[in-house]
Structure 1
Amino acid sequence: MHGPASAAWLLVALCLASGAYCLLRMRTRGPSGQGAAGEALMGFGMAVMAVPAAFVTLPAQVWFAGAAAFTAASLHAALTARHSPHHLHHLVGSAAMVYMSLVMAVAPASHHGPHAGPGGLPVLTGLLLVYFAGYTLLSGVRLIPAPATATGSPGPDSGPPGWGERAELALVCRLTMAIAMVSMLLAM
């Protein structure tokens, strides 16, 4: 990724925090834990991609290995997509990571090649930008709290949910990674 180093390091920190939280979510058995492994892989992969090029330049083999890992994640998401619509988002995210890994593996100037639209923006990059910007907006709207409703008192066994079981934290994690994806696609 190219851009200001301070913004890149902030992106690295956010992606690492999201990946670490997703690892915590993997321990839960509820709906929040579903897909957490793929999201953890996504967070850590995005953190590696966001490291400023001035700090370290990784060899092409690392990016090809990343593309292979995310291809496997894409296949898993494709096979499980019929069980949950959220797995379709995992499929798009994993495919985007494959695309960005391959772009980073080849010469920097080659991603403005024959697939570029007007102004030099590759068509696939533009489509991914539209998708993740829309997902970001939708996730942000979902975080708006609903009006409180009167419910009965909690039962004796119900306590506050653990860190890995909080649906709003999982949504914040996904929102953070979608924003990071938009910023990384813009930097390509």
Structure 2
Amino acid sequence: MKFLITGLGNIGPEYMLTRHNAGFMVLDRLAAQHGLTFSLNRLAYTAEWRYKGKVIHLIKPTTYMNLSGRAVSSYLKQLNIPVENLLVITDDKDLPFGKLRLKPKGSPGGHNGLRNIDEVLGTQEYARLRFGIGNTFAKGRQVDFVLGRFPEEEMAELPQHLDRAGDALISFCTSGLQHTMNFFNQ
């Protein structure tokens, strides 16, 4: 059984460790823990992981956040993976920092990466794991907030939240969506 796990973010050193790159950070942390290496391929950095009889394809689109759908669609088709086996990991400003919310489908909720994936795939019927980044920004400062780096106190807690998100994606692939939602949604 094959899965496509997509972490959303923006490429480039100026975006590393920013809140908007939470999806990339989850995959980078998981890859480091399991000895996986990402390679630059068409439209994405990719890694393949064989785990408990599953083939898990990890991608970090190089298309920038607002065009993530191109990479997701391309890899679903290329790898012949059904949309039911797609999980998209994204930041969410409407959740408190570190809180996780796994959903089987849904609207983009103002997230441009999810909006583009919905448009390109022609559906909202795919799983998404939302990683809470909080919303402690002044009115009109949302862009600066999501493209800003995590403050020092959150950086200290970030590894444990990234690990929990990594555990959730493993559970999605090995135990299924419903079990994972029951266990990881707080």
**Computing the radius of gyration over CA atoms, which structure comes out larger, 1 or 2?**
1
Q: Which one has a larger percent strand, Structure 1 or Structure 2?
A: 2
Shared fold (TM-score, shorter chain, > 0.5):
no
Q: Which one has a larger percent helix, Structure 1 or Structure 2?
A: 1
